[in-house]
Amino acid sequence: MSRKRDKIWTAIIATKQWFSKFFTSEANALVDDFGNNPPPDIDTHPYSGDDNKKGD
Q: What is the pLDDT of residue 16?
A: 96
Q: Which of 12-16, 27-31, 43-47 has the highest mean pLDDT?
A: 12-16
Q: What is the pLDDT of residue 25?
A: 86
The helix (run of H) or strand (run of E) holding residue 20 is: helix 2-31
Q: Does 29 have pLDDT greater than 60?
A: yes
Question: Residue 52, by phi and psi: left (phi above 0), alpha (psi -120 to 50) or beta?
Answer: left
Q: Does 54 have pLDDT greater than 70?
A: no
Task: Give mean pLDDT, residues 31-50.
Answer: 70
Q: Is 11 helix (H, G, I), strand (E, B) or coil?
A: helix
Task: Determine the residue type at 46.
Answer: P
Distance CA 5, CA 10 (A): 9
Q: Is 56 helix (H, G, I), strand (E, B) or coil?
A: coil
